[in-house]
């Protein structure tokens, strides 16, 4: 729904997100303003695991909601973390590991669809 690098615009500042080792650790969710869809901390804080498998994206521009390979055990993390700098904290940037990987800069978001 946006055309900029970040949900709030084209540039980032320490008032927008926890990144670039400014705080030096993760912060509680909600320390920064929500994005236009009501989600907090989608940039920085922790890399977020996704259900997407890592692999080459299909061709096309723009690729909307790519899911990666149809099979495989490597999964995608997005959003960067508290220790990453620009432009890594863009949600378009992706990292990848096996699901057994863990550290102090990766996590997941619990979500549900309200009926």
CA torsion 42→46→48→49, rounded to 10°?
A: 180
Neighbours of 90 (CB within 10 A): 19
What pLDDT was estimated at residue 37? 86
Contact by Cβ (8 Å): 25, 104: yes
Q: Extract the residue ranges of the chain whose pLDDT is less than 50.
A: none
Residues 6+ apart with CB under 8 A from 80: 19, 43, 44, 47, 88, 89, 90, 93
* Beta strand segments in the chain, E: 47-53, 75-78, 94-97, 106-107
What pLDDT was estimated at residue 61? 61
What pLDDT was estimated at residue 91? 77
Count Cα neighbours of 40 within 13 Å in the Cβ-side half-sphere.
9
């Amino acid at each position: 729904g946006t055309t900029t690098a970040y949900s709030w615009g084209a540039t980032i500042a320490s008032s927008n997100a926890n990144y670039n080792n400014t705080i030096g650790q993760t912060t509680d969710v909600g320390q920064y303003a929500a994005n236009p869809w009501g989600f907090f901390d989608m940039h920085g804080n922790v890399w977020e695991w996704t259900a997407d498998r890592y692999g080459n994206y299909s061709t096309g521009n723009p690729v909307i909601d790519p899911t990666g390979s149809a099979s495989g055990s490597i999964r995608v993390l997005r959003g960067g973390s508290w220790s990453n700098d620009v432009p890594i904290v863009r949600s378009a940037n992706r990292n990848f590991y096996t699901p057994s990987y863990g550290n102090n800069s990766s996590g997941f978001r619990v979500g549900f669809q309200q009926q």
